[in-house]
A and B are shown apart, each in its own frame.
Chain A
Amino acid sequence: MPAPDVQTTADIRAAMADGATAVEICSIYLARVAAENDAIHAFTHVAGEQALEDAAAVDASGQGRDAAFPLAGVPIAIKDNISTRGMPTTASSRILAGFVPPYDATVIERLRAAGAVIIGKTNCDEFAMGSTTEHSVSGPTRNPWDLSRVPGGSSGGSAAAVAARLSPIALGSDTGGSIRQPAAFCGIVGLKPTYGRVSRYGLLAFASSLDQIGPFALTVADVAVLLAAIAGPDPADATSSAEKVPSFPASLGEPVAHPTIGVPWKLLEDGVDADVSTAFTTAIDILRSQGATIVDVPLPHAVYAVPTYYVVAPAEASSNLARYDGVRFGFRAPAGPNRSDLDTMYNLTRDTGFGDEVKRRIMLGTYALSAGYYDAYYVKAQQVRTLIRRDYDTAFERVDAVAMPTTPTVAFGLGERSADPLRMYAGDVFTVSANLTGLPALSVPGGRDPSGLPVGLQFVGRAFDEATLLRLAANYERDAPCWREFPPTAALASGIPDPTR
């Protein structure tokens, strides 16, 4: 048996080079999931036997020791809004109860071809709408750093799974920050690739002009390996880009020489918790000490990104979620008394099948697109979207990346914001711009608050320049290797020796 302290894909592949099998690696992770998932609720479905069979197939193939297959034998957790053939895919919604997709998303096909072993599906906010993973039909996921706090969202299950060492890597989706914000709250690395870099085929659509699938991992190097495996054009997604995919892992070896990094200081003046500000300033000092030049970038319209986003995303969602009607898949509400017609079935199915946050957004979007309000809300928001993109284009004339905190606060308590949607939305202030503009953005652990909770440092880059973000983050991580400390929950079952105690 390999040592039980494997954490990263590098650890796993080193163990396999020493003779460990993919089945043994898979068993280690399944044992951790069995021990800790009840407390954290990161997984809504554990693949168990199927994962062990897939691992056995990797062992039979010999890919586990083939450098051309860097993910062979590596377990991975998949957000439950990404279609997996033969495995439940519900987007944590009652309306998709029991849905088992007849096909794999393109990213899943690519992961299977790469030899990655899917160990389960992870909890999320229903249809990826939310920032806490509390809006799930199966109940909330908890933050491994403090079980009374949220892990962030919407990809909170994937982030918590990686942070707690229940899976070395995971996939999430990011429509307004749903990879980066939970990565920040859980103290791991998360990347939203450029719009079009990764195929969306098989991703349950929320807002089609904003959605991107992306990687979670403990280290920047692992994010690079996973991005390389899923990136690239796909005939099944007409918005996927033909842009050349560089070798992301290879690019990490060479730091960006004397980078210029922009910081929107004015945007950070209001609404950022003091502890987050302190951690961010320290992170900027580290970047400076590494040779970066820090300049102020104005981004004058970024302050309008949240209201713009909450017009655009619900408008697209109201259209995308029209397909859930109780006819072709998922849940159908029983007929009402004396009311057994088709319209009643649609209306009752949708009212009982969707949760509150999804219904709020469907109605907001329906309103913004309805006659008389279309120009005032939808067109106006799309125009402001152009202005936000122009701000970034101007900034990138003189900077290599823009840096800011990923979130204005650290992880907050369960239930603290769920009653007040506007307060919840305000927390997305630093993440939604990357979706509105399509630009790539990465969150890397950027220190801790005084109580030990993780703070995220975000880099936003030029379109299709994920390589620069990865290189900057890898260089930062070398001098601030926060990921090596891990949450108290993770030590319980894994047997990983904790370097801090």
Chain B
Amino acid sequence: MPTRLTPADVERIAALAHLELTASETERFTRQLGDILTYFDQLQHIDTTGVPATTNPVTSAPVMREDTPTPSLPRDEALANAPDPGGHGLFRVPKVIG
């Protein structure tokens, strides 16, 4: 199993998850996440040879429906909660390309 979690590991995970941690958060989460991952190690002792994975509890076959167009959310309602709706019927975001 993986060795001890380091602050660099936590920074890498945070970057993958789009979180910019403060220095004190990195320190705290390194300790807490390390403890939790160690706790998970007990799962490795269970023999799961040949056991299928359960990804969800649904046992029935998926139900198909007709692909019929229905009204969708009006644009102004979809934009009503945007932090920066931009004023042109769009979501505005900070500059992407420098």
Q: Using a CB–CB distance below 8 Å, which chain A residues touch chain B?
A: 98-100, 102-103, 195-196, 208-209, 235, 238-239, 241-243, 301, 304, 307-308, 310-311, 318, 322, 325-332, 335, 340-348, 350-351, 354, 356, 359-360, 362-364, 366-367, 370, 373, 376-377, 379-387, 389, 421-422, 425, 436-439, 463
C-alpha gap A376/B53 in the complex (Å): 13
In the complex, whether B95 has a CB less than 8 A from a CB of chain A is yes
Contact A421 B48 (CB under 8 A): no
Binding site of A, secondary structure by majority: helix, strand, loop or mixed? helix
Q: Which residue of A lies closest to B80 (CB)?
A: A102
Contact indicator B81/A242 (Cβ below 8 Å): no
Flag B9-48 by CB within 8 Å of A: 1 or 0 each: 0100110111111100100110011011101101110101
5 examples of A-B residue contacts, CB within 8 angstroms:
A304-B46, A341-B96, A376-B1, A380-B44, A387-B51
- Flag if B63 contacts A242 (CB, 8 Å): yes
The 7 A-B pairs with the shortest beta carbon distances in the complex, nearest first, are A438-B57, A382-B53, A332-B83, A347-B20, A209-B56, A329-B81, A383-B48
Select which of B39, B56, B78, B96 is within 8 A of A102 by beta carbon: B78
The answer to whether B36 and A370 have CB atoms under 8 Å apart is no
Interface size on B, residues (CB 8 A): 54
| Extra contacts besides A100-B81, A363-B33 (20): CB < 8 Å | A98-B81, A329-B81, A341-B96, A342-B94, A343-B18, A347-B18, A347-B19, A347-B20, A348-B20, A350-B17, A350-B18, A359-B29, A360-B32, A364-B33, A366-B17, A367-B37, A377-B43, A387-B51, A389-B57, A422-B39
Contacts of B98 in A (CB 8 A): 341
Question: B residues within 8 A CB of A370?
Answer: 13, 16
Bound Cα distance from A376 to B10, whole angstroms:
18
* Residue pair A351, B83 in contact (C-beta under 8 Å): no
A residues within 8 A CB of B19? 347, 350-351, 354, 359, 362-363
**Is the beta-carbon distance between B13 and A385 smaller than 8 angstroms?**
no
- Cβ–Cβ < 8 Å partners of A373 in chain B: 2
Query: B53-76 vs A: 1/0 string, CB under 8 Å?
Result: 111111110110100000001000
> Using Cβ atoms and an 8 Å threshold, which residues of chain B touch A382?
53-55
When chains A and B are docked, how far (Å) is the Cα of A384 from the Cα of B84? 45
Interface flags for B74-96 (1: CB within 8 Å of A; 0: not) read: 00011011111000000101111
| Contact status A367-B13, CB under 8 Å | yes
A385 to B55, CA, bound (A): 9
A380 close to B94 (CB less than 8 A)? no
Given known contacts A308-B43, A332-B84, A386 and B52 CB-to-CB distance under 8 angstroms:
yes
B29 surroundings in chain A (CB, below 8 A): 359-360, 363
With the chains together, A346 CA to B17 CA distance in Å? 10
Q: How far is the CB of A291 from chain B (nearest CB, A)?
A: 31
* A341 & B81 in contact (Cβ 8 Å cutoff): no
- Closest residue of B by beta carbon distance from A336: B20
Instruction: Determine the residue in chain A with the shortest Cβ distance to B77.
Output: A102
Given contacts A363-B29, A383-B53, whether A342 and B40 have CB atoms under 8 Å apart is: no
B43 touches A311 (CB 8 A): yes
Does B43 contact A327, Cβ atoms closer than 8 Å? Answer: no
Say whether, besides A195-B57, A342-B96, A307 and B39 are in contact (CB < 8 Å). Answer: yes
The listed residue (A318, A330, A335) touching B83 by CB distance below 8 A is: A330
CA distance A196 to B54 in the complex (A): 15
Residues of A within 8 A of B44 (CB): 376, 380
Cα(A341)–Cα(B19), bound, Å: 15
**Contacts known (A341-B96, A351-B19); A422 close to B53, Cβ less than 8 A:** no
